[in-house]
Amino acid sequence: MEKTHSEALYKEACEHIVGGVNSPSRSFKGVGGGTPIFMEKGEGAYFYDVDGNKYIDYLGAYGPIITGHAHPHITRAITNAAHNGTLYGTPTKLESQFAMMLKNSIPSLEKVRFVNSGTEAVMTTIRVARAYTGRTKVIKFAGCYHGHSDLVLVAAGSGPSTLGSPDSAGVTKNIAEEVITVPFNDPENLKKALDKWGNEVAAVLVEPIVGNFGIVEPVPGFLETVNQLAHNAGSLVIYDEVITAFRFMYGGAQNLLGVTPDMTAMGKIIGGGLPIGAYGGRIDIMENVAPLGPAYQAGTMSGNPASISAGIACLEVLQEEGVYEKLDYLGSRLEDGLNNIIKNHTVPATVNRLKGALTLYFTSQKVQNYDDADNSNDVLFSKFFKKMLNQGINLAPSKYEAWFITTAHEEKDIEETLKAAEKAFDEIEKEQ
Ligand code: PMP
């Protein structure tokens, strides 16, 4: 596959942009290095790169692109918004319309506030939880990613539930010590952590369905236990639904699972491909936010007409009949096909799937928490990733990331993908 234009552009980008990329997940560091492909055009399920290669895309821009690239309804909404001015700094009618759409689909959102990214949304829910409870500590789950604000860039310590240590240079030890990390799907250790630190914990922060060490569902009863233990300790429960809101159904993972948090952070899909974040929850908690209450949060770009219009248009597409059934059907085709390939090869691998999102891990054991996911073999994944890319299948360059199916994918795309995967497995098996 020709890559000379990508290579030249990457070289140029490295001269001007740190690391040549504007988000580290776009680099190929996680797959043993190499040149990230420079895409020129996205259309439906496909990408076209600067060297004229075509790809079936499963990256979905790390989640937001659930209706395929350049969906005409969303493109029209963005164009129309731009004609009337992209940013006002005043309230607009559209913001309430969109807030109402979110509230109607996720009932725990009694009041919402729009921000500009998932990072901002999660960061603010923590501030508001601290303001509401008067406490400082936060419990999170190992391997879950909640954006790049200081407090959530904290790694697990060595024990089953420990005070954190900084996961990034520049995050201070003091901040990290406000965060307690517990394994996902492990109610016992959550209980121990709350027994020990409960009266200092402002909130338990959780991805109700994990999207950040692949797709990992909560074991039955886990989220109910999170709610019960947190509330018994006087702590709030915050769901990070930045990946999951509108991913699996029209609404949140909380609707799908029948569990209710005190606050929810969202992003990605609700911006239809433009920058957005939102948070919301119980009225008595949300009324702590400025200008009503003492917890400050603001944003020059927040609620801008372009992002809001794109978000409304995206949700309109997702309301169309059969959308989520199609995502689930194509997901099941892909999962079955991959499982068949795994069965016929000696390469250790396993698939986690929920509806239109799945992860292929290179480990033979079931993946239920971060340690299981981390067992996925780096070398095998790197080989697989590159072999798929060379056959025109675009995946995230990270062994934990989900493959996202969009409403633009068709059965023929799934078949082509499975053919490529079979060839990749054949080659990897021979190389072993
Ligand atoms: N929370 C979760 C669950 C995420 O997956 C992400 C992004 N991958 C974020 C928060 C941060 O969102 P953003 O990149 O929009 O800041």
Atom of ligand 1 nearest to the CA of 120: 16
Whether the per-residue pLDDT at 204 is higher than 60: the answer is yes
> How many whole angstroms from 201 Cα to the centroid of ligand 1?
23
Regarding the beta carbon of 119 and ligand 1, being less than 6 Å apart is answered: yes
The CATH number of the domain holding residue 357 is: 3.90.1150.10
Within this chain, do residues 64 and 200 fall inside the same structural domain, yes or no? Answer: no
State the Cα–Cα distance between residues 147 and 279, nearest whole angstrom: 14
Q: Decide: 125 in ligand 1 pocket, CB within 6 A.
A: no
Q: Given pLDDT bands bounded at 50, 70 and 90, which one contains residue 155?
A: confident
* Model confidence pLDDT, tens digit, residues 376-395: 999 999 999 999 999 999 99
Mean pLDDT computed over 353-375? 96
**Cα 185 to ligand 1 centre (Å):** 21
For ligand 1, atom 12, the nearest C-alpha belongs to 118
Residues 10, 113: one domain?
no
Residues 100 and 210 placed together within one structural domain of the fold: yes
Residue 169 scores a pLDDT above 60: yes
Same domain for 201 and 329, yes or no, is no
Mean pLDDT of 264-269: 98
The answer, yes or no, to whether any atom of ligand 1 lies below 6 A from the CB of 117, is yes
Residues 167, 263 within the same domain: yes
pLDDT at 432: 87
Q: Is 62 a residue whose pLDDT tops 60?
A: yes
The residue whose CA has the least distance to atom 13 of ligand 1 is: 118
- pTM beyond cutoff 0.90: yes
Spell out where 44-95 has E strands. 46-49, 54-57
159 pLDDT higher than 90: no
What is the structure's pLDDT at 162?
Answer: 59
Give the end of a domain, one of 299, 319, 339. Answer: 319
Cβ–ligand 1 distance for 122 under 6 Å, the answer: yes
Determine the distance separating the centroid of ligand 1 and the alpha carbon of 268, expressed in angstroms. 8
- Helix 323-343 crosses helix 411-431 at what angle (to 10 degrees)? 20
* Closest residue CA from atom 1 of ligand 1: 146
Q: Are residues 175 and 217 in the same domain?
A: yes
Read off the DSSP letter of residue 289.
B
Question: Within this chain, do residues 139 and 238 fall inside the same structural domain, yes or no?
Answer: yes
Same domain, 61 and 90: no
Number of domains the chain is built from = 2
Written as one letter, the residue type at 93 is K
- pLDDT at residue 161 above 80? no
Model confidence at 156, in pLDDT bands (50, 70, 90)?
A: low
SS3 411: helix
Residue range of the domain that includes 19: 4-70+322-431
Domain CATH for 89 = 3.40.640.10
| Mutate which of 23, 66, 115, 122 for ligand 1 pocket (most atoms within 8 A of beta carbon) | 122
Cα–Cα distance, 12 to 21 (Å, whole number): 11
Whether residue 154 has pLDDT greater than 90: no
Which atom, in ligand 1's list, is nearest to the CA of 62? 8
Question: Is 247 close to ligand 1, i.e. is its CB under 6 Å away?
Answer: no
Report, as residue numbers or ranges, the catalytic residues.
145, 240, 268
Q: Indicate whether 330 pLDDT > 70.
A: yes
Claim to verify: residue 25 and residue 118 sit in the same structural domain = no
What is the average pLDDT score of the chain? 96
Regarding whether 152 and 106 lie in a shared domain, the answer is: yes
Q: Which residues, 6 or more positions from 74, have their beta carbon under 8 angstroms from its beta carbon?
A: 67, 272, 273, 310, 313, 314, 317
Query: Are 117 and 45 within one domain?
Result: no
Question: Which residue has 């059965």 as its token pair?
Answer: 411
Lowest-pLDDT range of 13-22, 58-67, 147-156, 324-333: 147-156
In the three-class reduction of DSSP (H, G, I as helix; E, B as strand; rest coil), residue 74 is classed as: helix
Mean pLDDT value of segment 155-160: 55
Q: Which one of 284, 300, 319 terminates a domain? A: 319
The Cα 252–Cα 271 span in angstroms is 15
Q: 10 Å Cβ neighbour count for 387? A: 18
What is the distance in A from the centroid of ligand 1 to the CA of 215? 14
Q: What is the DSSP string of 228-241?
A: HHHHHTT-EEEEE-
Radius of gyration of the chain (CA): 21
Q: Which residues contact 347 (CB under 8 A, 6 or more apart)?
A: 362, 380, 425, 428, 429, 432
Kindly indicate the confidence band of residue 158, based on its pLDDT and cuts at 50, 70 and 90. very low
Same domain, 149 and 247: yes
Q: Is the Cβ atom of 215 under 6 angstroms away from ligand 1?
A: no
- Which one, of 87, 86, 47, 82, lies nearest residue 65 by Cα? 47
Asked which of 319, 344, 364 is the last residue of a domain, the reply is: 319
* Sheet containing strand 393-394, strands side by side: 39-43, 46-49, 54-57, 393-394
